[in-house]
Amino acid sequence: MSDGGGGFVAAGRVLAGVQPGETLKLAGSWSDHPRHGRRFAAEACERVTPATIPAIQAYLGSGLIRGIGPRLAAAIVGHFGADTLTVIDAEPDRLTEVINIGPQRRAQIVEAWLDQKAVAALMVTLQGFGVSPLLAAKIYQAFGSDSQEVVSTDPYRLIGRVRGVGFHIADRIALRSGVPERSPQRIKAAILDRLESAAARGGHCYLAMPALLAQTAELVEQDPELVRAMVDALTAERRVVVEAGEQPGRVVVYDKELHSREVALAGHLRRLMSATSGMPMRHYDEDASLHDDQRAAVTLALTCQVTVLTGGPGCGKSHTVRSIARAVRAMGGTVTLAAPTGKAAKRLSELTGLPAMTVHRLLMAPDDDGTTLFAEAPAKADLVVVDEASMLDLHLAVRLTAAIPDGGHLLLVGDTDQLPSIGPGNVLADVLKVPDIPRVRLTHVFRQAEGSGIVRAAHLIRSGHLPDLPGRGGFWFEEAGDPELVAERVVHLATDGIPRKQGVSPDQVQVLCPMRRGVTGTVEIGRLLQERRNPAREGVAEFWSGPEVFRVGDRVMPVRNNYDKGVFNGETATITAMDLPGRVAALRVDDGREVDYGFDELDDLTHAYAISVHRAQGSEYPFVVAPLVAESGGIMLRRRLLYTLVTRAKAWVVLVGHREALEQAVHQLGTARNTGLARRLNV
């Protein structure tokens, strides 16, 4: 952006997503940044139709209009000159005058042009409501031609349908549209938002009635009695469920979907536990290398329909699973090994020497050619083993248990000291609260793991003790003060320090962050890593999606499951190509599969240069670097998070930051999740 004097200045992130060649009218204020110089903070942005021929060509060739790339843009502008945009808008049939534009391409361009006009109009509407115009494309993607009507008449419908739109944004639009503050529509939306927020941010399946009333009343600044009346209305509409909690006199409120899934999961577990075992029982040769508790785990898995195997690092969980699988096969039975993520499944396969699949793949129908990685129906094996079971949320656990037939055995393997699932529920921990479900906790640390600094640090953290500092044999803590210096040090270690010293590629070093926001969060450190490892270069295609720019060569990760593409949260991939005219990015997933993402789907991806500890669950990396600072990560610095972070590394984990932040993480336990699964199973 030019400052009018021949120089350039940085503008605020309200401009993210602006394409080359666009002309903008900005409103905001100037300031001087001590490090970055003269800056303009843009508070509002209005797109102005490009007027010059070079600007029109750059605009059309940016990939903004589907079907037009740089070459075709040059041809169109070369033919129509300064009248190009007028022709596209008012006389689109004339586009066929240009070589390589036939009726089909013309229709595609016209459709894309109309979509862009609709998005532009929606941006104006949103700015009128004081809402970021960057949400326009996401809203249009969700609601299409109904977008203006939804925004203007029922903005609460945006909640849950449009990423980035919570109650506050929808409520701002509604109130400015004239919706009364005491409107039942508004209060109901706030109640549902508090339940959804509790599930999304805290993993809670329900909220206690007093907490729900207090949180909602504070959110809408209304009387709790009015909120209670709307809870009753939602109950009558069967959108929430109110029931007695575990403690006498306690009343709790569930979103209807989470309630039905929790009830269903309890039912499927009871069904499996009470069915007659279908496991073929024949003689097999026991693994003489097993420790006593490992041998007990084998016996339980073969004789009990639902079993849990838990324990910390170095205690032989994977070796035990391998022995169990071999015993089942030796008796003539079948086994399916699975894990919640692709990386966890790959790691399980490597550690056991046996094939493994994701739980999602286990639940999918056979491939088009009638085959799968395993049997035709892997969930119908005599034994289904799920590793990293602490990652199982309520939604996935219901689908898994529903797929296992009567007589099948289920073995859940995991470490309850790690972070619980990203999604709602605390399935593994809840199952362990049920005395009727057999379990074995492995506690013996094997000799080959005793010398690992990572294993030693992990066990000290788990028991609430500070690791040896600065560390040794795979664990290292480097103290640094200023958060910006911490971030710079993390980036240096990940891109240069560790790769040079260890003789490895930067791809083998993963940065994990406790928080998403802040100087040491995944967003800012990820941006710095992208600039260092994959900067903008002449001839390398890129496309802005909201505040993020995606380039060929970027490491990315899906933020939500896509069953149509067979891509799931937690997997990582590399962008191998970008088709600007077709508005499609080609990805190669780490397991070798090729998938395409349309530019309107890039909101489902995030960069994987720096990821949250939660998203690293089930994965293991040769080298891990992580910032630990009290200022930006205090609310997330908990023992489970630190323990999970440290155990993601195979060779070395390097923590950079404040000693007091490390001490806080070691000594501070997280809050328990509100779940009712154990209560339902113990009835």
Model confidence pLDDT, tens digit, residues 23-57: 667 777 787 766 556 777 666 666 677 778 988 88
Q: What is the DSSP letter of 562?
A: B
Query: What average pLDDT does range 125-133 have in this prediction?
Result: 83
Mean pLDDT of 154-174: 91
Q: In 3D, which of 529, 525, 550, 542 has the Cα closest to residue 606? A: 550
pLDDT of residue 414: 95
Burial-class residue 568 by CB neighbours within 10 Å (0-12, 13-18, 19+): buried
131 vs 44: CA distance, rounded Å:
10
pLDDT mean over 323-334: 93
pLDDT, position 19: 57
- The answer to whether 314 is a known ligand-binding residue is yes
Q: Does domain 180-253 have CATH number 1.10.240.10?
A: no
pLDDT, residue 35, reads 57
pLDDT category at 472 given cuts 50, 70, 90 is: confident
Residue type, 534: N
Distance (Å, whole) CA 235 – CA 251: 13
Local confidence band at 387 (pLDDT 50, 70, 90 cut-offs): very high
pLDDT of residue 220 exceeding 80: yes
Sequence ranges of the chain with CATH classification 3.40.50.300: 275-366+374-446, 452-667
* DSSP one-letter string for 456-522: HHHHHHHTT-PPPSS--TTEEEEE--SHHHHHHHHHHIIIIIHHHHHT--GGGEEEEES-SSSTTSH
Q: Reply yes or no on whether the pLDDT at 372 is more than 60.
A: no
Q: What percent of the chain has pLDDT over 70?
A: 91
More confident residue, 611 or 603: 611
Q: How confident is the model at residue 188 (pLDDT cuts 50, 70, 90)?
A: very high
Residue 354 has pLDDT above 80, yes or no: yes
Phi, psi angles (nearest 5°) of residue 576:
-100, -20
Q: Mean per-residue pLDDT for 499-506?
A: 95
Query: How confident is the model at residue 47, as a pLDDT?
Result: 67
Say whether pLDDT at 7 is over 60: no
Average pLDDT in the 514-518 region? 89
pLDDT of residue 368 exceeding 50: no
More confident position, 286 or 207: 207
- Token digits of residue 462: 């788990």
- Highest mean pLDDT pick, 108-117, 478-487, 488-497: 488-497
pLDDT of 356 higher than 80: yes
Predicted local confidence at residue 547, as pLDDT: 77
Residue 318 annotated as lining a ligand binding site: yes
- CA dihedral (402, 403, 405, 410) positive or negative: negative
Between CA 614 and CA 186 the distance in angstroms is 33
Q: What is the pLDDT of residues 655-678, one digit of tens each?
A: 999 999 999 999 998 889 999 999
Helix (H) or strand (E) holding 626, with range, is strand 621-628
Confidence of residue 371 (pLDDT cuts 50, 70, 90): very low
Q: Which residues pair with 440 in a beta bridge?
A: 309
| 323 known ligand binder | no
Q: In one letter, which amino acid is 302?
A: L
Which residue has better confidence, 163 or 17? 163
What is the arithmetic mean of pLDDT over 333-352? Answer: 89
Sign of CA dihedral 269, 275, 276, 280: negative
**Would you give the end-to-end CA distance of the chain in angstroms?**
66
Q: Can you tell me the distance from the alpha carbon of 452 to that of 360, in angstroms, rounded to the nearest whole number?
A: 33
Sign of the torsion angle spanned by Cα atoms 434, 438, 443, 446? negative
Sequence length of the chain is: 683
317 is in an annotated binding site: yes
**Average pLDDT rounded to a whole number, residues 562-572:** 80
425 labelled binding-site residue: no
Least confident of 171-180, 227-236, 253-262, 349-358: 349-358
CATH 1.10.10.2220 residue ranges in the chain? 180-253
Cα–Cα distance for residue pair 174/178, rounded to 1 Å: 6
Least confident of 61-65, 220-224, 247-251, 513-517: 61-65
| CATH code given to domain 452-667 | 3.40.50.300
Query: For residue 164, what pLDDT is reported?
Result: 82
Average pLDDT of every residue of the chain: 88
Question: Which CATH class, in words, describes the domain spanning 275-366+374-446?
Answer: alpha beta
Which pLDDT score, from 0 to 100, does residue 10 have?
47
* pLDDT above 60 for 535: yes
- Predicted confidence at residue 401, as pLDDT, reads 97
Q: Is the pLDDT of residue 330 over 90?
A: yes
- Reply yes or no on whether the pLDDT at 21 is more than 80: no
pLDDT surpasses 80 at 6: no
Write the pLDDT tens digit of every residue in 397-416. Answer: 999 999 999 999 999 999 99
